[in-house]
Amino acid sequence: MNFKVIDNGVTAPKGFRANGWRKGKYGVGIVYSEKNCTGAGTFTTNKVVAHPVVISKEVLKKNRDRLRCIVVNSGNANCFTKNGYEDGKRMISKTAELLNIPEDSILIASTGVIGRKMPMDIILSGIEETCRRLKRESSNHNFALSILTTDRFPKTLALEFEVEGKKVRIGGTAKGAGMIAPNMLHATMLSFITTDIKIDPEELSVVLQDAVDETFNNTVVDGDTSTNDTVFILANGESGVRYEECPDLFKEALHYLCRELAKMIVMDGEGSTRMMEVVVKGCASKEDAIKASKSVVRSLLVKTALYGGDPNWGRIAAAVGYSGAEMDMRVMDIAISDYRREVYLVKDGDPVDEEGEELKMAREIMKGKKVKIIVDLKMGMYENTSYGCDLGHDYVTLNSKYTT
């Protein structure tokens, strides 16, 4: 890699601070820049849309180069609720007052239960406490903890590279474990990214969308599209390096950051025990490759086979077959790997011997925590990689009691 992994997530880039507060199931987190930022965002395309998404779209439409802050709450999605828009604006107003910054410089996000009115006394109190903490110290760890819901662990990463002796940093923190699906044009969970590179908002929007399309939008936990999905990026220019000086390097680092955060999300899928990386190659078009790889990671039969450690290649083949991708079952290959060993389950359209050594090795591979599935359709030159997890008993248990 042309960059290195460093600590401190969203607080790693120069000029950014963050902190968070949590009490029971509710939390508040704030990311703050000491100087004005350019910013960009991608959002869910679910037609049932949360009020914070509506508000943040309005902010970005009016102001993309004087942004200062992101405020996010957990425990309540502020979606499909009476007066939810006004509640979101109250969150922004309180944050602006306490940090002495303009209201139109603040982006907002929420995550949690849909259809329940925001407990504004708790949330506003959380904003007050978070702002007090923010003024005392900066803590990416507290921020990462404050935004979790059913997540089992915080998801955070930061990278650093040099351009003519100057350091450029990108940091990210994400949350997500359920309601993760790729059937949208934009993001699939909550993710907050900061960088100290100098870049205009139009370019920032393009590079963010490209990164999201290749990473978060190739991620599936349960096939449900959330009402609140958001990815924000803020760039304050404090490194002294312009994007034009290192476009390829910056895009490479941003893609890596988003990909690793996406992997953390599927590894933390609600009730999950195993992660799968699905590579579908040899496709007639990029669209076909995307369809086929997403079809496999979305398949309930593939996900349950993964949970049981069953190398059921027939389920993989079937998922590719109904994806709509151009294919010929008589020539395709299917293989699985644990990133050390690779074994074919289907070669040139012929399945392996049911009593052979290949199937024995496949069973061993399927018992691992990470499984790579490789499908070669031999129809062209395009490929795509998607990420998913298994589906087991704990997913049903967790989601059957979500609001109780």
What positions carry a catalytic annotation? 188
Largest CA distance in the chain: 70
Assigned token pair, 248: 């390829």
Query: CA–CA distance from 278 to each of 6, 169, 372, 375, 389 (Å)?
Result: 28, 30, 6, 8, 10
The alpha carbons of the chain give a radius of gyration, in whole angstroms, of 22
> From the DSSP assignment, how many helices (H) and strands (E) are in the chain?
11, 16
* Beta strand residue intervals within 44-165, DSSP E: 67-76, 106-113, 155-163
Contact 104, 138 (CB under 8 A): no
Count of C-beta atoms within a 10 Å radius of residue 62: 9
For residue 109, count other CB atoms closer than 10 A to its CB.
30
Q: How far is 272 from 217, CA to CA, in rounded Å?
A: 19
